[in-house]
Structure formats: C-alpha cells, structure tokens
C-alpha cells in the first residue's frame, strides 16, 4: 500500500468461501465493497444517488451470478466488481447522454511528481456526498482515477486494469485530480495587499520649499 491510499481489508478468504456458495461470505463482500463502489458509481453518473443505487444493484446481481467463475487477474475482487460496475455505468451514460458528468473531456497526463502532500489534503473528504459531487467535476480520467484509488481503494495497477490504461497514467491522473481538489478546497487568503503594493506605515509629510 502506498501513501495516500486507504487501508482495505483482505477479501481473499471471503471470496473463496463465496465462490463455494457461502452466503455469509458473500454478505461480507457486499458490506466491505458496496460503500466504495456506490460512491464510485455516483462519481461516474453525476452523483445521482438513485441511478447509482440502481446500477450497483445490477452490478451485485451480475457478481452473484458470475462469482463462481471469478479468477483474480491482479485487480482483486474490488477491481473485478469495479470493472462490472463501470461497464454498467457506461451503458447507463450512453442511454442518458445529457448527463454532464458522463462527457467530461479526457485529461492530458503528465509525469507523476514525487509528492503526496496535495493528495493527502483531499483524502478524508472522499467519504462525503459533497466530495463525490466535487470529484465528478474533474476531467473524466482524473475523476475516475481518484474514485478508484481513494474511494474504492484500488492500487494503481488494479485501477489501470479497470480503466484500460497504464498504471503510470492512472497515478498521474489521480495525483492531478487530488491536487486540483486540494486547490479548490483551500480557502483564499484575504486582506493581503495587491501585487506591487507595499505598506510601510503612514506617508511622511512633504517638506515645504
């Protein structure tokens, strides 16, 4: 786990039991994965709670149907669930092209700077509806990278498999998105003099000639 990424529970044992038909294990998977998955979907479909819940329900129905055939390809169960949810969300977006969060432009990605300070400033806010709505205003790649890394809890490699991108591009998109969020959440400094203005006390009186 890297800095700036939330701790997540190891679901290996629960996945194995659920694949064997253990309903309690499946309920455990649902309790662990559903909150982050639902916030991820809200970010994808414009923070519409009802739409996100409907897509999440469809996602879990597919998971329940297909879990016996699940094979971990490096993204883990969370990544698999996120990929199913993403496909269903994209189908939903195509049916509702008027949704603004679904058609945000793709961001141009730069090399990832080696810093975590700006990312950490926005991590804790990802659990709130207001933060999800704010994340959804980011360029699409940045928003989805932030949601997968911070909200769902995937590492860069797993998130890259979900998004169909390289891990480095996902790291860059997540960092840039979190940096932008941190900038938006930082209150402006007020009361400072404008550019080029200095303050050194009252002006000295002119001498009379």
CATH number at residue 75: 1.10.1740.10
Q: Does 196 fall in a domain?
A: no
Q: Does 205 fall in a domain?
A: no
Distance CA 158, CA 2 (A): 13
- pLDDT value at residue 160: 92
Q: How many domains does the chain have?
A: 1
Burial of residue 29 (CB within 10 Å: 0-12, 13-18, 19+) is buried
- Residue 15 CA to chain centroid, in angstroms? 24
Structure tokens at 140: 């699409």
Structure tokens at 128: 């709130």
Residue pair 147/61 in contact (Cβ under 8 Å)? The answer is: no
- pLDDT value at residue 93: 77
Q: Which of 66-75, 145-154, 185-194 is predicted least confidently?
A: 185-194
- Reported as a single tens digit per residue, the pLDDT across 18-47 is 999 999 999 999 999 999 999 899 888 876
Distance CA 202, CA 177 (A): 45
Q: Does 154 fall in a domain?
A: yes
The conformation of residue 138, written as its DSSP 8-state character, comes to S
- Reported as a single tens digit per residue, the pLDDT across 140-163 is 899 999 889 888 889 899 999 999
Distance CA 54, CA 88 (A): 10
Q: Does 138 fall in a domain?
A: yes
Q: Does 17 fall in a domain?
A: yes
Terminus-to-terminus CA distance in the chain, angstroms? 75
Distance CA 126, CA 147 (A): 8
Residue pair 126/146 in contact (Cβ under 8 Å)? The answer is: yes
Q: Does 110 fall in a domain?
A: yes
Q: Does 190 fall in a domain?
A: no
Domain limits for position 163: 12-185
Q: Does 169 fall in a domain?
A: yes
């Amino acid at each position: 786990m890297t800095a700036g990424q939330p701790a997540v529970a190891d679901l290996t044992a629960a996945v194995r039991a659920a694949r064997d038909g253990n309903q309690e294990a499946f309920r455990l998977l649902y309790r662990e994965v559903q909150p982050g998955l639902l916030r991820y979907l809200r970010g994808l479909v414009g923070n519409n709670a009802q739409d996100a819940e409907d897509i999440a329900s469809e996602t879990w129905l597919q998971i329940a149907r297909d879990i016996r055939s699940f094979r971990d390809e490096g993204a883990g169960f969370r990544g698999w669930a996120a990929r199913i949810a993403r496909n269903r969300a994209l189908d939903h977006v195509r049916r509702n092209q008027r949704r603004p969060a679904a058609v945000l432009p793709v961001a141009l990605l730069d090399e990832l700077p080696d810093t975590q300070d700006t990312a950490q400033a926005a991590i804790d806010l990802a659990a709130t509806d207001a933060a999800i709505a704010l994340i959804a205003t980011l360029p699409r790649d940045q928003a989805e990278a932030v949601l997968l890394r911070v909200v769902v809890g995937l590492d860069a490699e797993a998130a890259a498999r979900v998004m169909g991108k390289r891990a480095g591009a996902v790291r860059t998109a997540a960092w840039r998105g979190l940096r932008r969020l941190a900038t938006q959440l930082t209150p402006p400094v007020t009361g400072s003099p404008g550019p080029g203005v200095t303050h050194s006390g009252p002006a000295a009186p002119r001498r009379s000639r």
